Amino acid sequence: MNPHLPSSLRYTRSHEWVRMEDQIATIGITDHAQRELTDVVFVELPPAGRTLKAGDSCAVVESVKTASDIYTPLSGEVIECNPALAGSPGLVNSDPYGQGWFFKLRPSDPGELDRLLSAEAYSQSIGS
Q: What pLDDT sits at residue 110?
A: 84
CATH 2.40.50.100 fits 15-117, yes or no: yes
Percent helix / strand / coil, the chain, rounded to 5: 20, 35, 45
| Residues 78 and 48 sit within 8 Å (Cβ to Cβ) | yes
**CA 37 to chain CA centroid, nearest Å:** 14
Q: What pLDDT sits at residue 4?
A: 77
Q: How far is CA 127 from CA 15, 29, 96, in A?
A: 13, 17, 19
Q: What is the DSSP letter of 39?
A: S
| Residues 47 and 82 sit within 8 Å (Cβ to Cβ) | no
What is the model's pTM? Answer: 0.95
Q: What does each of the 128 residues of the chain score in pLDDT, given as a tens digit?
A: 455 799 999 999 999 999 999 999 999 999 999 999 999 999 999 999 999 999 999 999 999 999 999 999 999 999 999 999 999 999 999 999 999 999 999 999 989 999 999 999 999 999 87
